[in-house]
């Protein structure tokens, strides 16, 4: 008797059309299209990677989407480092799109290890976070409709200051 050996990879199995609800698949496809993935095979592999070992595919699309966000955020935390702070998913997505990570296909996200040069490029492309918003008072501005007249008025006023302080 001859034995047959097969090669297995860490690639998740591709889900069948009955594996996930259509609404869930549409939501997952839209989520990963936001990263630049457009090929049906990549979208299938990424959905299987997110939903692997979970029952979220049988539930509402919200459960699957929260799982997808958590899974991608964990992947970005591992690749980019957890010291980034802020919205890791938004900043990681921006870096991934800037580096055109989707050109590597789903294997960029689902397989280990990530190519070192791509990981370095991804870390360099992470956008700098914007400073926190702080409430402030805008100084009062004056609209001058006739600049020549305003210049003439200032000339006639002479030594009077242009700034009035009211308190």
Query: What is the reported pLDDT for 35?
Result: 92
**Cα–Cα distance, 32 to 42 (Å, whole number):** 9
pLDDT at 156: 81
Look up the domain containing 58 and give its range.
Answer: 22-124
List, as own/partner pairs, every contact residues 49-54 make where C-beta atoms lie below 8 angstroms and the sequence separation is at least 24, other chains included: 49/12, 49/106, 49/109, 49/110, 51/15, 51/20, 52/12
Residues belonging to the chain: 167
Backbone angles phi, psi at 7, to 5 degrees: -95, 125
Cα–Cα distance, 25 to 17 (Å, whole number): 9
In a domain, 150, yes or no: no
Q: What is the reported pLDDT for 139?
A: 87
| Low pLDDT (below 50) residues in the chain | 1, 3-18, 167
Is 140 a domain residue? no
Tell me if 58 is assigned to some domain. yes
- Which pLDDT belongs to residue 59? 63
- 112 domain-assigned: yes
> What is the model's pLDDT at position 11?
42
Q: Is residue 96 part of a domain?
A: yes
Number of domains in the chain: 1
Is 51:93 a contact under the CB 8 Å cutoff? Answer: no
With residue 27 as reference, give the H or E element that holds it: helix 22-33
Q: Does the residue 47 lie in any domain?
A: yes
Report the SS3 class of residue 118: helix
131 domain-assigned: no
Asked whether residue 57 is domain-assigned, the answer is yes
């Amino acid at each position: 008797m001859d034995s047959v050996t097969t090669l297995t990879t860490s690639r998740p199995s591709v889900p069948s059309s009955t594996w996930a609800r259509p609404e869930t698949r549409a939501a997952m496809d839209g989520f990963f299209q936001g990263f630049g993935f457009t090929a049906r095979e990549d979208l299938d592999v990424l959905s299987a990677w997110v939903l692997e070992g979970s029952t979220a595919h049988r539930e509402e699309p919200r459960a699957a989407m929260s799982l997808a966000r958590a899974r991608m955020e964990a992947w970005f935390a591992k690749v980019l480092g957890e010291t980034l702070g802020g919205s890791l998913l938004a900043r990681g997505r921006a870096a991934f799109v800037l580096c055109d990570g989707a050109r590597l296909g789903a294997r960029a996200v689902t397989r280990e290890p990530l190519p070192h040069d791509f990981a370095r490029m991804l870390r360099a492309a992470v956008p700098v976070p914007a400073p926190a918003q702080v409430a402030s008072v805008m100084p009062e501005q004056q609209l001058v409709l006739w600049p020549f007249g305003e210049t003439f008025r200032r000339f006639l006023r002479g030594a009077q200051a242009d700034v009035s302080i009211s308190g």
